[in-house]
């Protein structure tokens, strides 16, 4: 799984869900990453937070992943 491409880092900033390219986040310089981590910690202190990587397996191969629901 570590070699899979397309991982997405998912979190909340200012109460809004945000998706980031995980590989791009790994390339941030240390100061920018610390600033990002401070934003995440601020939401956690306010009451609720999450931070995880996901790979949208269910979206792969579908032009419109919601079409399987119709």
Band of pLDDT at residue 12, cut at 50, 70 and 90: very high
Q: pTM for the full model?
A: 0.72
Band of pLDDT at residue 19, cut at 50, 70 and 90: very high
CA 46 to chain centre: 19
Asked if 36 and 20 touch (Cβ cutoff 8 Å), the reply is: no
User: In the structure encoding, which two tokens stand for residue 69, read together?
Assistant: 């629901």
Distance separating alpha carbons of residues 11 and 13, to the nearest angstrom: 7
Would you list the domain boundaries of the chain?
A: 8-57
**What are 30-65's pLDDT values in tens digits?**
999 999 999 999 999 988 999 999 987 665 555 554
H or E stretch covering 68: none
């Amino acid at each position: 799984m570590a070699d899979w491409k397309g991982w997405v880092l998912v979190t909340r900033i200012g109460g809004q869900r945000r998706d980031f390219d995980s590989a791009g986040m790994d390339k941030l310089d240390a100061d920018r990453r610390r600033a990002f981590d401070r934003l995440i910690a601020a939401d956690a202190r306010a009451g609720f937070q999450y931070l995880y990587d996901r790979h949208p397996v269910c979206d792969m191969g579908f032009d419109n992943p919601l079409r399987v629901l119709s």
